[in-house]
Structure 1
Amino acid sequence: MFTGLADWQMVGKYHKAGGAMDRGLGLHGSYVTTVGDYSAAAAQVILPHVIGSLEVYEQQTSLPLVIEHSQTIVLWGCDPIKNLQIEFLVPDHDAFGYWAQIKEAVAQGKIRVISVDPVRSKTQNYLNCEQLPLRPQTDVALMLGVAHTLYVEKRYDVNFINDYTVGFEQFLPYLLGTTDKQPKDAQWAAEICGLSAENIRDFARILVSGRTQFMGGWCVQRMHHGEQYPWMLVVLASMVGQIGLPGGGVGFGWHYNGGGTVTSAGPVLSGLGSIANPPAAKYKPDFRGASEHIPTSRIVDCLLAPGKKIAFNGETLTYPDIKMAIYSAANPFHAQQDRNRMIEAWEKLETVVVLDHQWTASCRFADIVLPVTTRFERNDIEQFGTHSNKGLMALHQVVKPQFEARHDFDIFAGLCKRFDREAAYRENRDEMQWINAIYDEGVKTGAALGVTLPDFDSFWQGEGYIEYPAGQPWVRHSEFREQPDLNPLGTPSGLIEIFSKTIAGFGYADCPGHPVWMEPFERSHSKAKTKYPLHLQSCHPDKRLHSQLCSSDAFRKTYAVAGREPLYMCEQDARARGLKAGDIARVFNDRGQVLAGVVISADYVPGVIRIHEGAWYSPQKGGKAGTLCTYGDPNVLSADVATSQLAQGPSAHTVLVEVERYQPQAPDVTGFGGPDTVKEEGENAA
């Protein structure tokens, strides 16, 4: 049995779908779990080897310090103005106030912001800042050209490299070309990334002209060899030498969870935790020699090749022979790559169960769909401001559960009842008792921090809102910089690892012991002849959280084009294909085909187009691999190829396509509405 989870379903400490599922199936005893996720799989595996922690989901240097100290901000594939609209918990949106100050500082010439991105991002347009429009998937080549310039011009921070890093001497022969007869100089990088050599050299000089803050996004690591980008960005920041200083260094979470907002002095609530003194699981785990976990994006490969052995972060995993899958708070028919290969793999499953309150494509491909309640049908409690942890909020039920919908917690309680574990699962608490208990734990934690919270009844029946005392600004990695011996990083050396003996020891040809430039399996704007000339971006949408809200007819009408997901492209590419704004186009490659509505935008350069991820899969012929997607799911076109043997993450952004005008009358969109209502046997027509 395989369990799939994203947990983006809704906020709430008690009604967290993942907690309910793990709790219930843990008492069952035998199920295959996942490692990593679709968002940042490559980065979250490589960065602990390099800088000692996940980085991607962690707090960033406080934005007030960035505003005060930074002379240059580098947005590397990072679009905070778009992506800060959502958080994992209740958003407080405080980060936007700081970005408004950065905008003002840019206008006054106090801060220089440079966006490294093939297209003009929402953040670039908001800030009216500079851009280095490199070719798609060439980021590491550009970084190497910058690093080479810093080295040969003697502009890099030798003391920081000597005191806070290891492995520069192993990396240097590659950078200078003594190992492969190819110096990674600015001219070499220019031929790959499309910028001029002088622009690359100027960029390098800017980085060391004052305090520079690198802000790394996640889209670049969702490409083939995606591990190389975050590793090389850390190397570049190390050569600049400002890691651990206010307004300097590198971070990978500025676009997420209110990154950079000041964290309060209040407690963090734990939520639905593990069972105290749990009884033995009903069934003893038996994976028949296979692994009990797989990388998240390898599920299709696992279904198609049970027993196959793969490398993963130093392990050798054996794919289990999965017969059943349960998905809760997840929509795999949006997140997984290569939709047609996925359809073939789903036929291998004997039973698929989906818990949801929307009739997604994943529900349509399921055998059993269990309707769960929405946020409005639940009582709960949650903190607001994910990184800021600004305070607590009571989430009161608006209506009782409708029709036959049940809470995730109650669904898994019912499952536990079938194998005599319900009492252990519930711990003799109902909904409000659980919420009260979670709150009371917060009261104890707050007291230890010197923060007094009211009793639960006063909180719940009163305003239902508590704002914590303000915290203090903080600098990421400052403790390490100040005392590296007493505050070592979580790497084997305790230092930043430019060369990793651990990774080198794995012996992976596609991820050696230091960052390198490697060609992806397909790339636009290269010397190689390609069947499909356009690079397709499928980054996070501006109007949705992944696939959520795409089902709303009213909201979809505010951005859809001719009833389809928008296809963004430049006028030159559109004109060459006889397309104009508002046309329905067919976007295709050897992996699949989708329809989308044309939007012509000056933000895009020739050869680069975009369809946002999260567009609902809408097959013209349901359940049939290869059929036309009538709405515009970009993962019909993406490849199910791992980033490397190290992280086995998704390469969702390594995609080449072609676009043409759709000549026949466009078919109706099939992915919305439903399910069909059928009468039970013996039911009256009335």
Structure 2
Amino acid sequence: MKKINQERRTLLKYTGIFAAVPFINQVLDKSTLLAAGLNHFTTDLVINGEVYTAAHWGALKLTIKEGKIIKSQNAFDNLTPNPLQNFTADLIDGINTNRIKAPMVRKSYLEKKSNHKELRGADEWVEISYEKAIKLVSDEIKRVRKQKGPNGIYGGSYGWKSSGNFHNSRTLLHRFLTMGGGFVGGLGDYSASAAQVIMPHVLGTLEVYEQQTSWPIVLEHSKVVVIWGANPMDTLRIAWTSTDNQGLEYFKKLKESGKKILCIDPIKSNTIEFFEDKAEWISITPNTDTALMLGIMHTMLITQKYDKNFLEEYTEGFEVFEKYLLGKEDNTPKTAKWASQICGIPENKIKELAKLFFENRTMFMAGWNMQRQHHGEQPHWMLVTLSAMIGQIGLPGGGFGFSYHYSNGGSPSTNAPVIGGISIGKVLSKEEEKTLMDGAELAIPVARIADCLLNAGKTIKYNGREITYPDIDLIYWVGGNPFVHHQDTNTLIKAWKKPSSVIVHDIYWTPTAKMADIVFPITTPYERNDLTMSGDYSNLSIYPMKQAIKRLPKSKHDFEVFTDLAKACGFEKQYTENKSEMQWLEEFYNTAYNQAQKTGITLADGNNMPDFKTFWKNNRPITFAPTPEGEEFIRYADFREDPILNPLGTPSGKIEIYSKTIEKMQYEGCPAFPQWIEPIEWKGMKNPPAEFVLVSPHPSLRLHSQLSNTRLREQYAISNREPIWINPQDAKNKGIKNGDIVRAFNKRGQILVGAVISDIVPKGVVRIYEGAWYDPENPKENNTLCKNGNANVLTIDLPSSELANGNIANTAMINIEKYKGTIPKLTAFTPPKGA
């Protein structure tokens, strides 16, 4: 096999990081740009014909008739069908679209009533002029800045905003707030928060957002593939930029490869259904993955089937972990029998797995569900430790990967040039810039927002330092839906009523828009022009995102709103740089075009990369070819080849099974080496607070809460509610039948769901997908019933540990009963009164 150039490996490694990390902004290198705006490009709409665009769920070909979208499909032929791609028209004017059609303000907020904050989510709304909305918002921002400084403003915008590089609502918000004097931002994300903080201590990298050993290498060399806590057949329907669909194609090849495939998951997911008899399903008790790994490792240790040489040469601290494994100090050897009693997998099976993994080239493809739980730092750390004991890290087809299920990780990288993007800019005021430099704390862990709002001035521990919560008086949220994705909704509601003002940009009357004070009506991605790239790690294609239809008369682009706010605040010229939408897009494209010109990079078909005018006129994606280096990429091959010349980014330069850095932090919730730590709620606890374990994974037919308001809902809703999957024996015991309305509840809240009786869930476990729009029965009452089945009404708002402060949405127990009351009317997709 061709030896990969070291510089190329490094490029692949770090290109993967910055292409895929949701919370890292891409800074524009203006020295490589051509002058923008020298050419003029038609932006006339296609009235009858085809338009190419893109979304998180892929490149789309839209058929337009008389100015309306009548068909939406994948822009490429012969790919695995992706049902998310066929409902674009519903997002414009579908039956449940509930577009925000004008700037709106809550009545009691507008009237400045003293108790107006208590009416958030329960007030009627008043339409105002766009100019008045701009003045209200700009005046309020100025007031808060004057009274509280940058620490008084929270720039939310956590979420899967538009795919486009220009109409990136989060970056546009942060650019406005940064130039205006700073703001409180977020640390980490909800997706992989625990893993992305622990992995740099263990491996020196984020790991969860990086390129994986390439699929061609896996298909050629791996003998055993373990899909652990992941459901790629659902999650690969989307990507942070725009999916290139390649991941799904590789899993099809894996199915037919004849390899030993294991799926470790509490639920029989769509991925397990996809593999049929080609994979073995091992159903594990939720929240117990670390215990299973320990049982496997103890078996390896006592049978001497582990790689001592790898541990000695490439890892740090195994001797301490070994004592724990053998129970030298706690008198509890982590035997297969011990693990079996916790994880529910037979002792003999655990021993069998230990032998199988060591004696065969094994690739662990791990998901993120198991780190979205209490002590979520432990599972990924433990899996790295297990891989180190096996000793195949850095070998072709061996080791682990934490991104095969996300954004097509493992699809071979191309040498494609990268298009540019708008930056968040810098603080314009010298006085405020000095305040920031003097140490004002301007970021909190994103999953701690409710705790922060409720406890201003509280100090928390985070990854070796302390953070004092700021006193936030204004929330500005764009491109996200926290009243769906944040855990423990009822606590969030209380917290959300603390600030004086909440401003939201949205396309639809989402639960978050309904909880605002002022909303701006925003255009859909199909009502504006943009650009994006596909394949977060591969950079396979550049997609045009041409405007397909006219915008609603009173809707605005986020850029237009922030331009006018910047004008009202005195820095319009700096914000816009005097460039229009198309000038920005030309500049972004030319960043890539100039790279291609300098380096001689061509398209996959051998042709030169077209200039922007030609690209935009052609209205087609352009695709680059994977390089030999990309196809042969082996993660950690350079480290294995020479750990001295190619050390990891850890203090020791090795894989840190024992971290002296974490030891110094002295965190009770995250000790210095990976361990089994009992979660706050789980099936095996002595006095469980409820009867059933709730599993709330990523939905099959949505992107979190996106697409909830399309006809896709008709394919999964049960009795017009979000479904709950219940084991047949449990359903019988509760007198519940298919299609019944079920009340799911615990001490945190209550929801209505529709019953699906199925053996895909084991006894004592239920599944409710996350992402259903919160729909309160009586928004004026505390802990009111959610009529639409938002799982986060039931989840816990506690941190994973002091290290990462990540969310633990997959640690929760609930009760269920057949609902016997009058079934309330669903209003999740109905605009509020006055709108």
TM range (shorter): over 0.9
C-alpha separation between the residues in 2 aligned to 1:351 and 1:384? 37
Identity %: 43
Q: Which amino acid is the alignment partner of residue 415 of structure 1?
A: L
SS in 2 for 1:5: coil
Mean CA deviation greater in 405-414 or 640-649? 405-414
Aligned residue for 2:229?
77
Aligned residue for 1:186?
336
Question: How big is each residue's C-alpha offset from its partner over 1:432-491, in whole Å with a ceiling of 9 and x where there is no partner?
Answer: 000000111111222344314221111111243211133231111112111222222111
The answer on 1:124 being equivalent to 2:283 is no
C-alpha separation between the residues in 2 aligned to 1:625 and 1:674? 21
Question: How big is each residue's C-alpha offset from its partner over 1:544-577, in whole Å with a ceiling of 9 and x where there is no partner?
Answer: 000011123x331221000000001110111110
* Count of aligned pairs: 671
Matches within 5 A, 1:26-41: 26-41=178-193
* Contact kept in structure 1, 2:178 and 2:424, CA below 8 Å: no
Structure 2 residue runs without a partner (length 5+): 1-152, 602-607
* Contact kept in structure 1, 2:176 and 2:424, CA below 8 Å: no
C-alpha separation between the residues in 1 aligned to 2:642 and 2:594? 32
Question: How big is each residue's C-alpha offset from its partner over 1:128-180, in whole Å with a ceiling of 9 and x where there is no partner?
Answer: 21122121111111111111111111111111111111110121111111111
Q: Which amino acid is the alignment partner of residue 37 of structure 1?
A: D
C-alpha separation between the residues in 1 aligned to 2:693 and 2:554? 45
SS in 1 for 2:827: coil
The answer on 1:503 being equivalent to 2:671 is no
Question: How big is each residue's C-alpha offset from its partner over 1:530-549, in whole Å with a ceiling of 9 and x where there is no partner?
Answer: 23110001110001000011
The answer on 1:638 being equivalent to 2:788 is no
Per the TM alignment, residue 273 of structure 1 is displaced from its structure 2 partner at its CA by: 2.4
The answer on 1:13 being equivalent to 2:165 is yes
Question: How big is each residue's C-alpha offset from its partner over 1:225-275, in whole Å with a ceiling of 9 and x where there is no partner?
Answer: 000000000000111111111211111111100111111121122311244
The answer on 1:533 being equivalent to 2:685 is no
Aligned residue for 1:457?
613
Q: Which amino acid is the alignment partner of residue 575 of structure 2?
A: Y
Per the TM alignment, residue 508 of structure 1 is displaced from its structure 2 partner at its CA by: 0.3
Per the TM alignment, residue 101 of structure 1 is displaced from its structure 2 partner at its CA by: 1.2
Q: Which amino acid is the alignment partner of residue 538 of structure 1?
A: S
SS in 2 for 1:392: strand
* Contact kept in structure 1, 2:741 and 2:754, CA below 8 Å: yes
Q: Choose from 446, 457, 482 the match for 2:641.
A: 482
Q: Which amino acid is the alignment partner of residue 171 of structure 2?
A: G
Q: Which amino acid is the alignment partner of residue 459 of structure 1?
A: F
Matches within 5 A, 1:363-378: 363-378=513-528
Per the TM alignment, residue 279 of structure 1 is displaced from its structure 2 partner at its CA by: 4.0
Aligned residue for 2:378?
228
C-alpha separation between the residues in 2 aligned to 1:623 and 1:208? 58
Question: How big is each residue's C-alpha offset from its partner over 1:387-425, in whole Å with a ceiling of 9 and x where there is no partner?
Answer: 221121211111233222111112111111112111011
The answer on 1:239 being equivalent to 2:395 is no
C-alpha separation between the residues in 1 aligned to 2:769 and 2:530? 32
C-alpha separation between the residues in 1 aligned to 2:794 and 2:649? 38
The answer on 1:565 being equivalent to 2:722 is yes
C-alpha change, 1:437 and 1:289, in structure 2 (3 Å) is: closer
Matches within 5 A, 1:553-592: 554-592=711-749
C-alpha change, 1:72 and 1:623, in structure 2 (3 Å) is: farther
C-alpha change, 1:570 and 1:459, in structure 2 (3 Å) is: same
C-alpha change, 1:436 and 1:527, in structure 2 (3 Å) is: closer
The answer on 1:600 being equivalent to 2:752 is no
The answer on 1:545 being equivalent to 2:545 is no
C-alpha separation between the residues in 2 aligned to 1:272 and 1:7? 18
* Contact kept in structure 2, 1:290 and 1:317, CA below 8 Å: no
Aligned residue for 1:257?
407
C-alpha change, 1:193 and 1:84, in structure 2 (3 Å) is: same
The answer on 1:115 being equivalent to 2:115 is no
SS in 1 for 2:444: strand
Per the TM alignment, residue 283 of structure 1 is displaced from its structure 2 partner at its CA by: 4.3
Aligned residue for 1:149?
299
Aligned residue for 2:810?
653
Aligned residue for 1:682?
none
SS in 2 for 1:310: strand
C-alpha separation between the residues in 2 aligned to 1:281 and 1:3? 21
Question: How big is each residue's C-alpha offset from its partner over 1:296-319, in whole Å with a ceiling of 9 and x where there is no partner?
Answer: 010100111111110000011101
C-alpha separation between the residues in 1 aligned to 2:811 and 2:159? 26
* Contact kept in structure 2, 1:225 and 1:520, CA below 8 Å: yes
Mean CA deviation greater in 382-391 or 437-446? 382-391
Aligned residue for 1:667?
824
C-alpha separation between the residues in 2 aligned to 1:278 and 1:364? 32
* Contact kept in structure 1, 2:663 and 2:672, CA below 8 Å: yes
Per the TM alignment, residue 676 of structure 1 is displaced from its structure 2 partner at its CA by: 4.0
C-alpha separation between the residues in 1 aligned to 2:434 and 2:517? 25
C-alpha separation between the residues in 2 aligned to 1:285 and 1:568? 55
The answer on 1:466 being equivalent to 2:622 is yes
C-alpha separation between the residues in 1 aligned to 2:537 and 2:439? 41
Aligned residue for 2:583?
433
* Contact kept in structure 2, 1:30 and 1:286, CA below 8 Å: no
C-alpha separation between the residues in 2 aligned to 1:448 and 1:187? 62
Q: Choose from 204, 214, 220 the match for 1:68.
A: 220
Q: Which amino acid is the alignment partner of residue 508 of structure 1?
A: Y
SS in 2 for 1:24: helix
Q: Which amino acid is the alignment partner of residue 529 of structure 1?
A: N
Aligned residue for 2:204?
52
Per the TM alignment, residue 182 of structure 1 is displaced from its structure 2 partner at its CA by: 0.9
Mean CA deviation greater in 451-460 or 143-152? 451-460
C-alpha separation between the residues in 1 aligned to 2:345 and 2:716? 33
C-alpha change, 1:314 and 1:438, in structure 2 (3 Å) is: same
Aligned residue for 1:626?
783
C-alpha separation between the residues in 1 aligned to 2:430 and 2:522? 25
TM-score, normalised via structure 1 length: 0.95
TM-score, normalised via structure 2 length: 0.79
Matches within 5 A, 1:190-209: 190-209=340-359
C-alpha change, 1:219 and 1:281, in structure 2 (3 Å) is: farther
* Contact kept in structure 2, 1:7 and 1:16, CA below 8 Å: no
Mean CA deviation greater in 14-23 or 646-655? 14-23
Q: Choose from 772, 778, 781 the match for 1:615.
A: 772
Report the RMSD for the aligned CA atoms in angstroms: 1.6
Mean CA deviation greater in 322-331 or 13-22? 13-22
Structure 1 residue runs without a partner (length 5+): 679-686
C-alpha separation between the residues in 2 aligned to 1:502 and 1:455? 50
Q: Which amino acid is the alignment partner of residue 679 of structure 2?
A: P
